[in-house]
Amino acid sequence: MSEFEKLRVVIRYEFLKHIRRRRLYWILGVAIVAELAVLIGLPALMDGYPDNVMVMAALLSIGPGFATFGAIFFAGDAIAGEFESKTGYMLFTNPVRRITLVTGKYFACYAAVILLVLLGYVIVSISLLVIYGNVPIETAKSFGLCLFYAGGVLSVTFFFSSVSKGAMGATVMTLLFTMVISGIIESVLLMAGKPSWFLLSTAGDSMVYVYGGYELFLEGVMPNGGMLPFAIETPDIGLAALSMAVYLVVGLVLSIWISGRRQLT
């Protein structure tokens, strides 16, 4: 059996494992609840939906954004779990290269996350079509950025999984890095008027701001003309996409390299 055929077997096995896990459906449920909260709660609070379809699209795209965090829960135990549960003694001693195993696990996780994101944007598109009668082309751009962002988050999670002693540690470290550390630094840079496109949290925001930037999003969040005490400049979407590519490639390469040299004991 060639290494490519082995890779295909690993991807298929790992993907089916994700499909059978409850966490997939829990994350999907959270994404659906987020969409329903916007669809039901927004008209109750604003006496109707926004007049601008772009505002509504930006608000609804938060749901698929939640789905991308499925990458963290899918991949937290991808590598660390094999060492923690000692299953690596059986898995890594098989005639399959570690690069094949890690790459196969990555693609399987990515496929599961893509499924979540796709379902989320199907809900977004149907909702916009029913309410406004059209779906803006920016929805497709947001979908692409969301997939790109999910790949970056997944690679970062794989990196932490490759260096962590346990699956829980890998999951917590990724959440702290993507939501807390990156988010705090982004907020400070925004208030200081400095660029933040290189941060992972900014990359995640780009899937919403692609609809018209901070100004349009704030129009939907604060329709009564609320103003922030500081000016906010919408990050460069192209540079944010570039940063996602860097996180995706560097995180995956490092996780493969570290996993190939990590000892089972």
pLDDT given at position 265 = 55
Question: Residue 146 CA to chain centroid, in angstroms?
Answer: 6
Q: Structure pTM?
A: 0.85
pLDDT given at position 89 = 43
Position 63 confidence tier, pLDDT thresholds 50, 70, 90: low
Q: Cα(first)–Cα(last) distance of the chain, in Å?
A: 29
Phi-psi region of 21 (alpha: psi -120 to 50; beta: other; left: phi over 0): beta
Cα dist from 22 to 36, 70, 97, whole Å: 21, 12, 29
Tell me the pLDDT tens digit for each residue of 147-192.
Answer: 999 999 999 988 988 888 777 777 888 888 988 899 899 888 888 8
Tell me the pLDDT tens digit for each residue of 208-240.
Answer: 888 887 777 666 556 554 455 555 677 788 899
Query: For 31-55, what is the mean pLDDT?
Result: 84
pLDDT given at position 88 = 46
